[in-house]
Structures are given as C-alpha cells and as structure tokens.
A = this chain, B = another copy of it.
Amino acid sequence: MYTYRHLFDFTQEIFLAIGCPPKDAKLAAEVLLEADLRGVDSHGVARLSGYVRLWEAGRINPTPNMRIVHETPSTATVDGDGGLGLVIAPKAMDIAIEKAEKVGTGWVSVRNSNHFGIAGYHAMEALSSDMIGMAMTNASPLVAPTHSIDRMLGTNPIAVAVPTKKQPPFVADFATASAANGKLEILQRKEKKAPVGWIQTAEGDDTDNANELKDGGALLPLGSDLVHGSHKGYALAAIVDIFSAVLSGANYGPWVPPFVAFLNPPADPVGKGIGHFLGAMRIDAFRPADEFKENMDRWIETFRAAKTKKGEKAVLIPGDPEREMTDIRLKEGIPLLQPVAEDLEKLGKKFGIKF
C-alpha cells in the first residue's frame, strides 16, 4: 500500500525531472493520480513510465506553447503543441468554463495533444462552477466497427459530470467499447479468460482469449454484436473521434498515434497528435441552479430507491463506485501490483528520485 501523498510527490518529481514547469508537473500528477484514487488502475501511475518513454522518444513536449488557433464566443480550437494531455486538457477545460461563464456554454476541441488520464477528471472540473462538464478523447485504434475485422477506433471514452445539491455529483465516465482495455490487461496479468463479447479474433470470431489482441484481434464496441447494438457503440466511438479530432485537426481513426513508445506513429498523419473535446454548460443558462440541483437530488434519490434484482444490494448512480473507492484509498492507501511498483522504482533510479 502506498499513500496518495507518496505517489503524488513521486509523480510530481518525475514530471519535474523531464522538464515540466512546476505548475504543470503538479497538475499532471494530480490528474494522473485521480485515476488511482478512483480505482481506474490502468490509467494512473501504472502509466507513468509510459509517459516518460514517450518523452524520451521525443513525442511529448514538456514545455508546450499551447494556443487557441480558432475561436468564437462559445468555442475554441486549441493546439496542445505536443504537450502532456494531463496538462493540456485541464487548461482547455478552463477555456470552456470561461466561455460558459460569458455566453452560457463553452466547447473546446483540442489537437496535438497526448493521453489525458481519465476523462472523468476533466468533466468534474466544471462542477464547482455549477456547470455540467463533458470530456472525451480519441485513442489509438483497438476497436473494430460492426462487421469489420480492422482496428479503426480507440476505446474513446465519454465523461459527463452533473452538479447536485446534497447528493454527491452524477459522474459518468466510460469507454465506448464493451470493456475498457484496462480491464483486459488485468485479465492478462492474472492469466484469466475474458467474457465472450469483449474481443474478437483476427477473423472476427468470438473468443474468450484475453490475449487475442496480440494475434490481430480487436476489442468490440459497446453492445458487443449487431443484435445487441454494437452499431450504437461504434457510432458513439465515431462521434467521440469526430468531435475530438476531425473538428480540431488531430489524427483520427486508424491514424491516432499509439501510447506505447516502441510503436511508431503512422508515417502519413492526417492531423496533429491525438484529440480531445471538452465542454461546459452553465446550469443557470437553462434554469436557476438551485432548482436544477434540487431536482438532480430527487433524480438520484429516486433511482437509488429503485427495486433491486434478487442478490443485488443497490441500484448505483454513475460515479458511486469511484467515489467509494476514493474514500477507501485516501484512508487505507493505494495498492500497486508488484510489477508496477518495480517499474516505478526503476524509473526513479533513472532520475535519482527515491520511490
């Protein structure tokens, strides 16, 4: 078990060591660690050495000159100058929030960025301003569209955070694939089988082999197969790709550069880096905020009180499991798998930073 403080300080030191300005190193550590707090272990410190390898490969700019390249009162297109998504995305979200303050809503499409951690962090940034926050990003292709055997789309997550009064906020944050790649990685490490409906083989057949992606297989869109609506999951992932990358001028579809540094980005890019899309809607641009938040409380209380299936304890509200996990981990610490801890120790040694 590691305390949040310990992991935060270490992560911040590493980002400082690769040349991030102090403010950015702190922000990046905060965004990255939010994944560990919320139980999304695949997106937290386990990825820290991955970010560093991208920097070593010259694919992350620690001192980006982020700039607005196009804007209207309610929109902006941002060029992240190859910076860490962990830094670029929160700053882009700040722009969305500022615009929402002035004209009701703000929408920012980002190009030339990198992975931004968990989408939920960015969406939740809007909550303290009594706004609904939205965040999405594209990612390197792992998902095959319905009817296809080619990996064309990332697991392209969508997050939406909604403010409340007494209840904790509604925070949905989910990959548009039937299962996020992180869940698969856990099965791979434990050498367990995957549920049918998560992955297909290189030929497009059903499989329960969690390692099938290594043999040319693909993840399946939310819905798993056509009969159960995989064309809807495919459409959702496509919408995320279009909003994040075709609107901003980032790479889209099969051109999105891989997160792992040992794979080169496609030689014929159609844009710059990866893309995000961030949005903020001021509640009182639609209705007095208090009225809305009272109704959100009632919405949540009503859904929480819905009858459960036999054997199920409760109907959950999006965000419940992650919030409970955060409470536990802030108190009891954050567990790391042995290989992750060893990886961080090695990473620390490289920069003379004690893990």
Contact = CB atoms under 8 A, between A and B. Distances in A.
Interface residues of A, number: 86
B162 A242 contact: yes
A194 to B, nearest CB: 10
A200 to B, nearest CB: 8
Nearest to A109: B286
Interface string A197-213: 11000011000000000
Contacts of A149: 306-309
Interface stretch (A53-61, A87-95, A223-231): A223-231
Contacts of A229: 174, 178-179, 222-223
Contacts of A348: none
Interface string A240-284: 011100111100111000000000000000110000000001110
A203 B281 CA distance: 39
A271 to B, nearest CB: 8
25 contacts: A72-B282, A73-B74, A73-B103, A75-B104, A75-B281, A77-B287, A104-B107, A109-B287, A147-B314, A150-B306, A152-B306, A160-B235, A170-B242, A174-B235, A195-B227, A197-B228, A203-B310, A204-B309, A222-B222, A222-B229, A231-B316, A235-B318, A246-B295, A247-B286, A247-B287
A306 B141 CA distance: 13
Interface in A46-77: 70-75, 77
Interface of A: 70-75, 77, 102-105, 107, 109, 132, 144-150, 152, 160, 162, 170, 172, 174-176, 178-179, 195, 197-198, 203-204, 222-224, 227-229, 231-236, 238-239, 241-243, 246-249, 252-254, 270-271, 281-283, 285-287, 291-292, 295-296, 298-299, 302-303, 306-310, 312, 314-316, 318
